Structure 1
């Protein structure tokens, strides 16, 4: 099977935004203070400016992201990947903005309810990269410093 020709930066951004709108899950990478890496799949909601994730407050991911304030996430397959690095703002069930929690609940579940206490993690992208094959690696940066390049 022949690989597809490289996409233009504009097409790559369109594909990335479509993936953010339609995909349900992302791989979320974090590290503790000693540098021990942790990787977990989490559901996410994209609101056009940031991703919202939810995980139990006691998980390594929640602890690591609260402490570091930064995250790296990946969407898609290895031959069609989107990597997002961003700043993290953490909310508890008491501090989460109602509109954010309601939107997350409408797509997944209401993490404000139940015995397990969930943390909401709002990720504001600072860098977004997307590529399929080696021929797209050179132009993989779509966002840097929180600003779209395309």
Structure 2
């Protein structure tokens, strides 16, 4: 019996299947609202680049992650606020560039911490040890599927949706 291709989750590969900008934006926002994991890349002037996966929540304007206060990620963000984020799917790429701000677990806005807790069932504010919430406000977002969508992949520039 011949195997049929899974066309429901396969990204389009022809120019005719290129998504309009509004659809790319909507699908990107849907993914930011529902996906669980994101890669966060930071850099430090003495220690160089560092990349790590995190659980994240999206508040409609910014990405929130949480990590131990002594982590390399927190150390780097305190030295260099510019960061890079990417969702893990390489066939349906979403990459964000922005600036990060750190909030100690006792100083994080309650709404942000509650959203994080509701999504993951874990509340770092109730853990022993110190945690830091990091808010990343995107300035640039790129989204594309395969080569036909490389043109027009920037869907946010200077914090404004295109």
TM over 0.5: yes
1:32 is aligned to 44
Quote the Cα distance in structure 1 between the aligned partners of 2:79 and 2:126: 25
Runs of at least 5 residues in structure 2 that lack an aligned partner in the other structure: 6-11
Aligned equivalents of 2:106, 2:89: Cα separation in 1: 36
Q: Which moved more, 1:31-40 or 1:112-121?
A: 31-40
Q: Does 1:97 align with 2:113?
A: no
Structural mapping, 1:1-150, within 5 Å? 3=13, 5-34=17-46, 36-108=48-120, 109-149=122-162
Residues 80-126 of structure 1: CA deviation (Å, up to 9, x unaligned): 11000111111001211122111111112111122231110011110
TM-score by length of 2: 0.87
Q: Note if contact 2:39-2:88 (Cα within 8 Å) is conserved in structure 1.
A: no
Partner Cα separation in structure 1 for residue 69 and residue 156 of structure 2: 30
For residues 96 and 112 of structure 1, what CA distance do their matches in structure 2 show? 9
Higher strand share: 1
Select the structure of larger CA radius of gyration: 2
Deviation at 1:34? 2.9
Residue 3 of structure 1 deviates from its aligned partner by 2.3
> Where does the alignment leave 5 or more consecutive residues of structure 1 unmatched?
none
CA RMSD, Structure 1 to Structure 2 (Å): 1.5
Q: CA offset at residue 35 of structure 1?
A: 6.0
Q: Which runs of 4+ in 1 moved over 6 A?
A: none
Give the TM-score taking structure 1 as reference length: 0.93
